[in-house]
Amino acid sequence: SYDLTQPPSVSVSPGQTANITCSGDRLENEYVCWYQQKPGQSPVLVIYQDDKRPSGIPERFSGSNSGNTATLTISETQPMDEADYYCQAWDSSILYVFGTGTRVTVL
Amino acid sequence: QVQLLQSGTEVKKPGASVKVSCKASGYSFPSYGVTWVRQAPGQGLEWVGWTAPYNGNTNTAEKLQGRVTMTTDTSTSTAYMELRTLRSDDTAVYFCARHGNGADYWGQGTLVTVTP
Protein backbone atom coordinates (compact mmCIF):
# COMPACT_ATOMS: atom_id res chain seq x y z
CA SER A 1 0.00 0.00 0.00
CA TYR A 2 1.01 3.60 -0.48
CA ASP A 3 1.49 5.70 2.67
CA LEU A 4 1.48 9.46 3.14
CA THR A 5 3.03 10.73 6.35
CA GLN A 6 2.27 14.09 7.98
CA PRO A 7 3.44 15.59 11.27
CA PRO A 8 0.73 15.12 13.92
CA SER A 9 0.72 18.77 14.89
CA VAL A 10 1.98 22.19 13.89
CA SER A 11 1.77 25.30 16.05
CA VAL A 12 1.93 28.82 14.64
CA SER A 13 1.46 32.33 15.95
CA PRO A 14 -1.16 34.55 14.34
CA GLY A 15 0.26 36.35 11.32
CA GLN A 16 3.12 33.89 10.91
CA THR A 17 3.63 31.16 8.30
CA ALA A 18 2.69 27.52 8.83
CA ASN A 19 4.23 24.78 6.71
CA ILE A 20 2.60 21.35 6.71
CA THR A 21 4.50 18.54 5.03
CA CYS A 22 3.28 15.33 3.43
CA SER A 23 5.82 12.64 2.60
CA GLY A 24 5.44 9.68 0.28
CA ASP A 25 7.56 7.64 -2.07
CA ARG A 26 8.15 9.57 -5.30
CA LEU A 27 5.23 11.83 -4.37
CA GLU A 28 6.21 14.37 -7.03
CA ASN A 29 4.89 11.88 -9.61
CA GLU A 30 1.37 12.15 -8.19
CA TYR A 31 -1.15 14.97 -7.99
CA VAL A 32 -1.64 16.16 -4.41
CA CYS A 33 -4.69 17.78 -2.87
CA TRP A 34 -5.06 19.32 0.58
CA TYR A 35 -8.20 19.43 2.72
CA GLN A 36 -9.07 21.49 5.76
CA GLN A 37 -11.43 20.00 8.33
CA LYS A 38 -12.81 21.84 11.35
CA PRO A 39 -14.42 19.95 14.24
CA GLY A 40 -17.82 18.53 13.37
CA GLN A 41 -17.62 19.68 9.76
CA SER A 42 -17.01 18.09 6.39
CA PRO A 43 -13.59 18.53 4.81
CA VAL A 44 -12.99 21.48 2.47
CA LEU A 45 -10.67 21.32 -0.53
CA VAL A 46 -8.04 24.08 -0.22
CA ILE A 47 -5.43 22.96 -2.81
CA TYR A 48 -5.69 20.69 -5.84
CA GLN A 49 -3.19 19.51 -8.45
CA ASP A 50 -0.31 20.35 -6.11
CA ASP A 51 -0.60 24.13 -6.16
CA LYS A 52 -4.00 25.31 -7.41
CA ARG A 53 -6.59 27.02 -5.24
CA PRO A 54 -10.32 26.42 -5.73
CA SER A 55 -12.44 29.54 -6.03
CA GLY A 56 -13.18 31.06 -2.65
CA ILE A 57 -10.00 29.80 -0.96
CA PRO A 58 -7.86 32.68 0.33
CA GLU A 59 -4.55 33.43 -1.37
CA ARG A 60 -2.70 32.77 1.88
CA PHE A 61 -3.08 29.05 1.14
CA SER A 62 -0.46 27.70 -1.28
CA GLY A 63 0.99 24.34 -2.18
CA SER A 64 4.08 22.75 -3.68
CA ASN A 65 5.26 19.24 -4.48
CA SER A 66 8.84 18.16 -5.12
CA GLY A 67 10.72 14.91 -4.67
CA ASN A 68 9.10 12.91 -1.91
CA THR A 69 7.43 15.82 -0.14
CA ALA A 70 4.42 18.00 -0.74
CA THR A 71 3.94 21.12 1.37
CA LEU A 72 0.91 23.20 2.27
CA THR A 73 1.86 26.73 3.29
CA ILE A 74 -0.47 29.03 5.17
CA SER A 75 0.86 32.58 5.07
CA GLU A 76 -0.24 35.21 7.57
CA THR A 77 -2.08 32.53 9.51
CA GLN A 78 -5.35 33.57 11.10
CA PRO A 79 -7.17 32.05 14.09
CA MET A 80 -9.85 30.77 11.68
CA ASP A 81 -7.20 28.56 10.04
CA GLU A 82 -7.01 26.39 13.15
CA ALA A 83 -8.11 22.96 11.90
CA ASP A 84 -6.98 19.50 10.84
CA TYR A 85 -5.32 19.33 7.43
CA TYR A 86 -5.03 16.24 5.25
CA CYS A 87 -3.02 15.68 2.12
CA GLN A 88 -4.31 13.29 -0.50
CA ALA A 89 -2.68 11.80 -3.57
CA TRP A 90 -4.25 10.03 -6.48
CA ASP A 91 -3.54 8.69 -9.88
CA SER A 92 -4.72 5.84 -12.02
CA SER A 93 -2.78 3.25 -10.03
CA ILE A 94 -3.11 4.27 -6.38
CA LEU A 95 -6.44 6.09 -6.67
CA TYR A 96 -7.10 7.95 -3.41
CA VAL A 97 -4.75 7.86 -0.43
CA PHE A 98 -5.07 10.26 2.49
CA GLY A 99 -2.26 11.41 4.68
CA THR A 100 -2.26 10.85 8.43
CA GLY A 101 -3.45 14.38 9.15
CA THR A 102 -1.96 17.42 10.89
CA ARG A 103 -3.63 19.51 13.55
CA VAL A 104 -2.75 23.17 13.15
CA THR A 105 -2.97 25.21 16.31
CA VAL A 106 -2.86 29.00 16.15
CA LEU A 107 -1.46 30.19 19.46
CA GLN B 1 -25.07 25.78 -6.18
CA VAL B 2 -23.56 22.32 -5.88
CA GLN B 3 -25.01 20.33 -3.00
CA LEU B 4 -24.68 16.74 -1.85
CA LEU B 5 -27.36 15.66 0.63
CA GLN B 6 -26.79 12.41 2.48
CA SER B 7 -29.22 10.13 4.28
CA GLY B 8 -29.53 10.12 8.04
CA THR B 9 -27.88 8.39 10.96
CA GLU B 10 -27.88 4.60 11.02
CA VAL B 11 -27.50 2.18 13.93
CA LYS B 12 -26.78 -1.41 12.94
CA LYS B 13 -25.87 -4.69 14.58
CA PRO B 14 -22.69 -6.58 13.70
CA GLY B 15 -23.17 -8.67 10.58
CA ALA B 16 -25.89 -6.42 9.17
CA SER B 17 -25.70 -4.19 6.09
CA VAL B 18 -26.13 -0.45 5.65
CA LYS B 19 -26.90 1.60 2.55
CA VAL B 20 -26.09 5.30 2.53
CA SER B 21 -27.48 7.61 -0.12
CA CYS B 22 -26.07 10.85 -1.51
CA LYS B 23 -28.37 13.05 -3.60
CA ALA B 24 -26.58 15.55 -5.82
CA SER B 25 -27.91 18.83 -7.16
CA GLY B 26 -26.61 21.95 -8.87
CA TYR B 27 -24.44 20.22 -11.46
CA SER B 28 -24.54 17.59 -14.20
CA PHE B 29 -24.46 14.39 -12.14
CA PRO B 30 -23.18 12.09 -14.91
CA SER B 31 -20.22 14.36 -15.61
CA TYR B 32 -18.35 13.79 -12.33
CA GLY B 33 -17.25 10.82 -10.27
CA VAL B 34 -18.43 10.29 -6.70
CA THR B 35 -15.92 9.45 -3.97
CA TRP B 36 -16.78 7.88 -0.63
CA VAL B 37 -14.66 8.59 2.44
CA ARG B 38 -15.12 7.54 6.04
CA GLN B 39 -13.83 8.85 9.35
CA ALA B 40 -13.89 6.78 12.53
CA PRO B 41 -14.38 8.69 15.80
CA GLY B 42 -11.31 10.79 16.54
CA GLN B 43 -9.46 9.38 13.55
CA GLY B 44 -8.33 10.56 10.12
CA LEU B 45 -9.90 10.31 6.70
CA GLU B 46 -10.03 6.92 4.99
CA TRP B 47 -10.89 6.47 1.32
CA VAL B 48 -13.66 3.92 0.75
CA GLY B 49 -14.07 3.97 -3.01
CA TRP B 50 -15.04 5.82 -6.13
CA THR B 51 -17.72 5.43 -8.76
CA ALA B 52 -18.31 7.00 -12.16
CA PRO B 53 -22.00 7.72 -12.85
CA TYR B 54 -21.33 8.10 -16.56
CA ASN B 55 -20.26 4.49 -17.09
CA GLY B 56 -20.76 2.68 -13.78
CA ASN B 57 -17.06 1.98 -13.21
CA THR B 58 -16.01 1.63 -9.60
CA ASN B 59 -12.82 1.27 -7.57
CA THR B 60 -12.74 0.21 -3.95
CA ALA B 61 -10.12 0.43 -1.23
CA GLU B 62 -8.37 -2.91 -0.96
CA LYS B 63 -9.32 -3.49 2.69
CA LEU B 64 -13.03 -3.12 1.90
CA GLN B 65 -13.16 -5.09 -1.33
CA GLY B 66 -15.88 -7.72 -1.22
CA ARG B 67 -17.94 -5.84 1.38
CA VAL B 68 -18.66 -2.54 -0.41
CA THR B 69 -20.91 -1.87 -3.37
CA MET B 70 -21.21 1.59 -4.88
CA THR B 71 -23.98 2.40 -7.35
CA THR B 72 -25.54 5.45 -8.93
CA ASP B 73 -28.99 6.33 -10.28
CA THR B 74 -28.63 9.03 -12.91
CA SER B 75 -32.42 9.47 -13.11
CA THR B 76 -32.44 10.83 -9.54
CA SER B 77 -28.82 12.07 -9.39
CA THR B 78 -28.22 9.85 -6.39
CA ALA B 79 -25.21 7.76 -5.42
CA TYR B 80 -25.36 4.85 -3.00
CA MET B 81 -22.77 3.08 -0.88
CA GLU B 82 -23.67 -0.26 0.66
CA LEU B 83 -21.43 -1.87 3.27
CA ARG B 84 -22.13 -5.47 4.26
CA THR B 85 -21.12 -7.72 7.13
CA LEU B 86 -20.69 -4.74 9.41
CA ARG B 87 -18.15 -4.85 12.22
CA SER B 88 -17.60 -2.56 15.16
CA ASP B 89 -14.62 -0.95 13.44
CA ASP B 90 -16.92 0.16 10.60
CA THR B 91 -18.40 2.70 13.02
CA ALA B 92 -17.65 6.03 11.36
CA VAL B 93 -19.02 9.08 9.61
CA TYR B 94 -19.34 8.28 5.92
CA PHE B 95 -18.97 11.15 3.45
CA CYS B 96 -19.71 11.35 -0.24
CA ALA B 97 -17.91 13.91 -2.34
CA ARG B 98 -17.93 15.02 -5.95
CA HIS B 99 -14.73 14.11 -7.72
CA GLY B 100 -13.82 17.12 -9.82
CA ASN B 101 -10.40 18.61 -9.26
CA GLY B 102 -9.98 16.53 -6.13
CA ALA B 103 -12.99 16.00 -3.88
CA ASP B 104 -14.32 19.49 -4.41
CA TYR B 105 -17.80 19.31 -2.85
CA TRP B 106 -18.74 17.15 0.15
CA GLY B 107 -21.92 15.88 1.69
CA GLN B 108 -22.69 16.57 5.33
CA GLY B 109 -21.75 13.05 6.40
CA THR B 110 -23.75 10.07 7.66
CA LEU B 111 -22.97 8.53 11.03
CA VAL B 112 -23.06 4.75 10.96
CA THR B 113 -22.82 3.12 14.37
CA VAL B 114 -22.30 -0.63 14.65
CA THR B 115 -23.24 -1.91 18.08
CA PRO B 116 -24.51 -5.24 19.48
- DSSP code string of A16-70: S-EEEEEE-TTGGGSEEEEEEE-TTS--EEEEBTTTBPPTTS-TTEEEEEETTEE
pLDDT score of B5 more than 80: yes
Residues of chain B contacting A43 with CB distance shorter than 8 Å: 37, 45, 95, 97, 103, 106
Q: What is the pLDDT of residues B8-38, one digit of tens each?
A: 999 999 999 999 999 999 999 999 999 999 9
Tell me the shortest Cα–Cα distance from A15 to chain B, in angstroms: 27
| Band of residue B53 on the pLDDT scale cut at 50, 70, 90 | very high
| Band of residue B79 on the pLDDT scale cut at 50, 70, 90 | very high
pLDDT, average across residues A21-26:
92
Contact residues of A toward B, CB < 8 A: 1, 33, 35, 37, 42-45, 48-49, 52, 54, 84, 86, 88, 95-101
Residues of chain A contacting B35 with CB distance shorter than 8 Å: 96
Percent above pLDDT 70 for chain B:
100
Q: What is the pLDDT of residue B19?
A: 98
